[in-house]
Structure 1
Amino acid sequence: MYKQQIEEYFSKHKKELLEDIGKLIAVQSDRSEAKPGMPFGKGPAKALELALNIAKEKGLITKNYENYVGTVDVNDKETELGILAHLDVVPAGTGWTTNPYEMVEKSGKIYGRGTADDKGPAVAALYALKAVKDLNIPLSKNVRLILGTDEECGSNDIAYYFSKEKVPPKTFSPDGEYPVINIEKGSFRSSFTGRYQKNESLPRIISINGGLKQNMVPKLCEAVIEGFTLLEVEDYIKPVAKQLKVKYELLESNQEVHITIEGNSAHGSTPELGNNPITAMLTILSGMSFAKSEGFNRICSVNKLYPHGDFYGEALGINMSDDESGKLTIGLNIFEYNEESLKGSFDCRSPLCANDDNVVSVMEMNMIREGLFLEIEKMNPPHYVDKNSELVQNLLKVYEDYTGKEGQCLAIGGGTYVHHIEGGVCFGCSMPGTDNHMHSSDEFAVIDELMLSAKMFTQIIIDICA
C-alpha cells in the first residue's frame, strides 16, 4: 500500500512544499486585461510559468498550452487520472490582517490569497506526482496535473485545453472539501437593469456602488446622497445598521453625505455565511424620506425583490429545494446606481430540481412587474456523478484509510473545475468543519490538512495508475 513510505516522504518534504506554496502566493494572479500571449492577463500567466518551472526542477514533464493551461506529467504513458487545479485567484479585497500576497505561517495555518483556493492544493497535488517519482513506484499509466488560470472567471482556460486534449478516464479536483463532492448545484448568473428620468428634487440618491465579483458577496457598499444633513442621516442609520448587523461610516462633503456600509464577505455559493452590504444599503435607503422619483422607486423595487437576509429567493418567487442537492441560494453581489440607470448582478446556485421555467422565467416576470429588466441567459446545469462509480469509491476508501473517518458524498452550491467533466468529482482539500475564508479576507489553509491531502493524492495515483 506504500502508506509508511508516503508518510516518511512528506515528513521530509514538508518545509519544501510550504516554501513552494509561498512562492505562488507572492504572485497576484487575479484576472486582468488580456495581453499578447497572456489571455487572462499578466498575473495568471506569471503564476503558471512559476508553477511549471517548479515542476520541471523536480524532474516532472511539463507543457504550457499558450498560457491558458499548463500540464505536469509523471511519465509519457497514457493518462488514466487527471488532477485539475487552478492558479488564478479572486481579488484580495479589503479587511486583511496580513499581506494577502505574502504567505504567513502561524498557529498551524498558512495565510494568503490562494492558500486554500487553489494554489495550496495545486502544490499538494504537484508534490504527490513528485513523491511517486522519487519513491520509484512503478506506474503502468500516467497521472496528469492540469493547472488552469481562469477558474474564477468562467473556466475559459479548461474549455480551450479540452478542445485540444481528451478528458482523462478519471478526474478529480482538489478545489473544495472532503470527503467527496459528487453533486454541484447548477447556476444562473446574470444581471438586470432599470432606466428612469433624471430627477434633481431633494432629498435624492446620487449614486450607489458595491461589489467586485459576481461570485463573491462583497464587503463594502458606498452611496452618495444629497438633501439630508449628516446628523439626520446618523440618527436614522444608527439603529437600522445595528438591526442589520452592519458597520457604517459617514462623511459630509459639498452638501453631500457619503455613506459606506461594511458587511461580511463570503463565497457566492454560500451567501448565508456573509452579510451583504448591498442589500443592507438598499434596505437603509428605501426606508429614508427621499423625494418621489422614478429612480427612488426602482431602488425600492430592487429592495423588494432582494430583501436583506433573503438568501433563498423567496421574494423573487424561486425558493425551492430537493433532498439530494439542497436549497436554491441567490445573492445580489454587484450593484451600480446613477441618476439615470441602475444595474445589478446576481449569483444564483440552483438545485437539481431547478430549470429555466421555474427559475429564469419566474424571475423575469417578477422583475418586469417592478420595472426591471432581466438579461436572459441559459442556466448552467447541475453536475451529478453516481456515488457508486469506481473513482468515487476509490477516493472514499483512501479518505477512510488515511483519516480514520467515515467517507461520504456531498452536494455543494459552488461549481468546481470538474463541473462540466463527465464523471469528475471534487476531493479536498479542506476537512469537514474547516472554514478557510475562501473569497474573503484572511484566507488560510491548515498545514496538516494540506500535508494529509498530498499523502492521499499520492496513494490515489498509485491505486489508479500502478
Structure 2
Amino acid sequence: MMKYEDQIRTYFDDPAKQRELVAAVCRLVSVRSVKGEAQPGMPFGEGPARALDEALKLCDELGFATRNHDGYVGTAELNDKDTILHILAHMDVVGEGKGWDTDPYGPVEKDGVLYGRGVADDKGPAVAALFAMKCVKDLGLPLSHSARMILGTDEESGSEDIAHYYATEPYAKYTFSPDADFPVINIEKGHYHPDFGSTWAKSEALPRVTELKGGFRTNVVPPEAQAFVAGMLVTDIGPHVEHVSRETEATFTLEAEEGGTRVLCAGKNAHAASPDGGNNAITALLTLLSHLQLADCGSTAAIKSMHQLFPHGDTRGKALGIAQADDLSGPLTLNLALMTLDETGFSAKFDVRFPICANEDNCRKACEASFAAHGIAVTGDGDMTSVHHTDANSPFVRTLLACYENYTGVKDARPLAIGGGTYVHDIPGGVAFGCELPGSDPRMHGPNERIPVADLVLSAQIFAQAIAELCG
C-alpha cells in the first residue's frame, strides 16, 4: 500500500464527491467546442473559447489560482510552490458526426456510464485530474512542489495552443496528459500525412466518374463517401453492389439523377490511429467503382490507381510499399482520410502513424515512388514528424506505473506504444497517462462516445496518488 492511499480512496468513495465530479464533466461537455473561425481573443473560434472559460470558472470554484493565456490555454495552480508537474488536457472536441443515440452535447448517465462528446476525449479526464488536485489540496497532503493543470483548446486540430504556451513558458520536470490509455504510454508513433493528387484534361467520354468526395478530418476514418457516375443507370451499377458490399462490409445506396447515378457509401468512423476499428468509406467506394466498365479517361485511371494503392482493408500500407513494424512500437498504420475528384483532377490525403524503425527511405521516399509509378504527385507538406519515446525505465514512468498497479491490482504493468499523438509528443520526457482502461471502448471520435463513471473515479484516485508522489 502506498502512503496516503487510504485517505485518497476514502475521499473518492464519497457518493457526493462522485456526483460532483459527474456534474462537472457534464457542465463542460454541454459546451460544443469544435474548432471554428478565429476571433479576437478566440484563436480557435467561439466554441473552444467558451469551453475554456467554463473550465476556468470550474477551477476557480475548486479553489485554484487560474490564468487565461491569450485564449490559447488556461492554467490552474495546485499551490504557490515551485511547479514540478504539468498535467495537459484539452477542452476542444472533434465534430459530433452522425449516428448518436443521445444528444452529444446533452450529456447523460445511463447504468453508470456517461455519454456525450468529450466525456472521454478529453473533458472527463481533465475533470478527473482537476478533482485529483482538489483531493490532494483538501486532504492537506504535504507537498514540496506544485502541479499545474494546463487546459488547451486546439489538441484535435494541430496543438497550436500548446506550442503558443511553451514558446514563452518552460517545460516542467514531469509532464503527463490524461488523454489516452492506462497504464502509461511512453511511445507515440511519428506522423506522415501528405497531400497528393493528379490532373487531366476534361473528357466527354461515357460512362465516367465526374465527382467523388469523402472524409472530413485527417485523423478520422471516413464514414461516408459519394460519387456521381455519368452515363450509367442504377440498373447498370446495381448488380455489382451486393458482391462489393459483402467484400467491404460497407453499405451502398444508388440514386438516379439526371445524366447518371449517384453512389452513396456508408462505412464506420474511428480514430485514424486505430483504423482497424473503422470501415473506410472512401476505399470501399473505390472498390465498387473499380468494378464498373468505365470509359478510358483521366478519372477512370485515377480511380484504378487509387484502388490499387489503397485497397480496402489495407491499413498497413502494403500496397503502397511502406508496411513495416518493430517490437517496441508495433506496426505502421494507414488511413486514407480525404479524397475529392472532379472533371479535371483529384486530391487526397492519408494519415500514417509510423514506428521507430521507419525513416525517410522506407516510408516517405518509398511512398512517393509508388505514387510516381501511377502519375500521382505529392502536392502539400510531405514531411515526416518524429517519433516520441520516453525511457520506460525512467523514475517518472516507474512512479506512474506503480500508482496504476496499486489502485488497479494489476501486476507488472508495461508501458504502451500508440499511433495517436497527444500533447506530450514534442515535450521531452512527457507521457500519456489514462484515462482509458484496458478492455474499455470509449468510442472516441465516433458516435455515442462514453466512459464509465467508475473509470473516472478510479482515474482520479490514481492521479491524486501520482501528484502526491511526484510533488511530495
What is the TM-score normalised by the length of structure 1? 0.98
1:222 Cα deviation after fit = 1.1
Match of 1:40 in 2: 44
How far apart in 1 are the matches of 2:342 and 2:29?
Answer: 37
8 Å contact from structure 1 (residues 197, 295) kept in 2: no
- Cα deviation for residue 369 of structure 1 reads 1.3
Query: How far is 1:397 from its partner?
Result: 0.7
Q: Deviations over 1:83-110 (max 9, x none)?
A: 1111111111111111111112112211
**Partner amino acid for 1:84?**
L
Distance 1:99 1:338 in 2: 35
Once the two structures are overlaid, the 10-residue window that deviates more, 133-142 or 293-302, is: 133-142
Q: Tell me how far apart the structure 2 counterparts of residues 116 and 200 of structure 1 sit (CA, whole Å).
A: 50
Q: SS of the residue aligned with 1:266?
A: coil
Name the aligned partner's letter for residue 353 of structure 1. C
| Cα shift readout 1:327-379 (whole Å, capped 9, x = no counterpart) | 11111011111111111111000000111221111111110110111135221
Indicate the SS of the match to 2:295: coil
Write the mapping of 1:111-260 to structure 2, written as runs, cut at 5 A.
111-260=115-264
Pair 1:14-2:18 in alignment: yes
Q: Residue 323 of structure 1 is aligned with which of 324, 327, 344?
A: 327
> Which letter maps to 2:5?
K
What is the alpha-carbon distance in structure 1 between the residues aligned to residue 208 and residue 285 of structure 2? 15
Equivalence for 2:85: 81
- Distance in 2 (alpha carbons) for counterparts of 1:341 and 1:63: 48
Equivalent position SS for 2:423: coil
Q: Which amino acid aligns with 1:456?
A: I
2:361 maps to 357
Q: Report the CA distance between 1:253 and its aligned residue.
A: 2.1
| Matched ranges for 1:424-463 at <5 A | 424-463=430-469
Point out where structure 1 has 5 or more consecutive residues left out of the alignment.
none
**Alignment equivalent of 1:377, drawn from 379, 382, 388:** 382
Amino acid at match of 2:246: K
CA deviation vs aligned residue, 1:244-290 (integer Å, no higher than 9, x gap)? 11111121122331211111111111111111000000111111011
Q: Retained in 1: the 8 A contact 2:234–2:255?
A: yes
Shift of residue 200, structure 1, vs aligned partner? 2.1
Corresponding position of 1:417: 423
Instruction: Indicate whether 1:395 and 2:384 are aligned.
Output: no
Question: What is the CA-CA distance between 1:417 and the residue it aligns to?
Answer: 1.1
SS of equivalent to 2:255: strand
**Contact residue 37 and residue 45 of structure 2 kept, 8 A:** yes
The one of 285, 288, 291 aligned to 1:287: 291
Mapped pair 1:335 → 2:346? no
Structure 2 distance, partners of 1:212, 1:29, is: 17
Q: How far apart, in 2, do the equivalents of 1:462 and 1:197 lie?
A: 66
Bigger Cα displacement from structure 2, 36-45 vs 251-260: 251-260
RMSD over aligned CA atoms reads 1.1
Rounded to whole Å, the distance in 1 between the matches of 2:449 and 2:254 is: 29
Q: Which amino acid aligns with 2:123?
A: K
Aligned to 2:69: 65
1:356 counterpart letter in structure 2: E
Query: SS where residue 224 of structure 1 aligns?
Result: strand
Distance apart, 1:311 and its partner CA: 0.6
Partners of 1:360 and 1:376 within 8 A in 2: no
For residues 33-75 of structure 1, the C-alpha deviation after alignment (integer angstroms, 9 at most, x for no partner) is: 1111111111111110000000101111111101111111111
SS in 2 for 1:291: coil
Shift of 1:20: 0.9
Does the CA-based 8 Å contact 1:196-1:340 persist in structure 2? Answer: yes
Q: Determine the C-alpha separation between the residues in 2 that align with 1:291 and 1:377.
A: 32
> What are the superposed Cα offsets for residues 142-199 of structure 1, whole Å, 9 maximum, x if unpaired?
1001111111111111000001111110011111111111111111012101101111
Aligned counterparts of 1:323 and 1:408: Cα–Cα separation in 2: 13
Structure 1 contact 218–263 (Cα < 8 Å) conserved: yes
- Percent of residue pairs identical: 45
In 2, the alpha carbon distance for the partners of 1:73 and 1:348 equals 37
Deviates more, 1:415-424 or 1:232-241: 232-241
- Please state whether the residue corresponding to 2:68 is helix, strand or coil: strand
Bigger shift: 405-414 or 230-239? 230-239
TM-score normalized by the length of structure 2: 0.97
Query: Aligned partner of 2:387: which letter?
Result: P
CA displacement 1:207-264 (0-9 Å, x = unmatched): 1111110011011111111211112222221221122111111211223312111111
2:28 & 2:243 partners in 1: Cα distance? 44
Q: Shift in Å at residue 138 of structure 1?
A: 2.6
Measured in 1, the distance between the counterparts of 2:245 and 2:343 equals 25
- Structure 1 match to 2:112: 108
> 2:438 is matched by which residue type in structure 1?
P
Q: 2:384 is aligned with what amino acid?
A: M
After the TM superposition, which of the residue ranges 201-210 and 158-167 deviates more from structure 2?
A: 201-210
Aligned residues of 2:298 and 2:344 also touching (Cα < 8 A): no
Is the CA contact (8 Å cut-off) linking 2:240 and 2:291 kept in structure 1? no
Structure 2 Cα separation of the partners of residues 435 and 371 of structure 1: 41
* Separation in structure 1 between the aligned mates of residue 343 and residue 373 of structure 2, nearest angstrom: 21
Shift of 1:439: 1.0
Whether the 8 Å CA contact 1:94–1:219 is kept in 2: the answer is no
Report the AA paired with residue 64 of structure 2: L
Per-residue CA distance 1:5-47 (angstroms, 9 max, x = gap): 2122223310011111111111111111111111111111111
Equivalent residue of 1:459, what SS?
A: helix
Q: Please tell me whether the aligned partners of residues 72 and 146 of structure 1 are also in contact (alpha carbons under 8 angstroms).
A: yes
Indicate conservation of the 8 Å contact 2:76/2:148, yes or no: yes
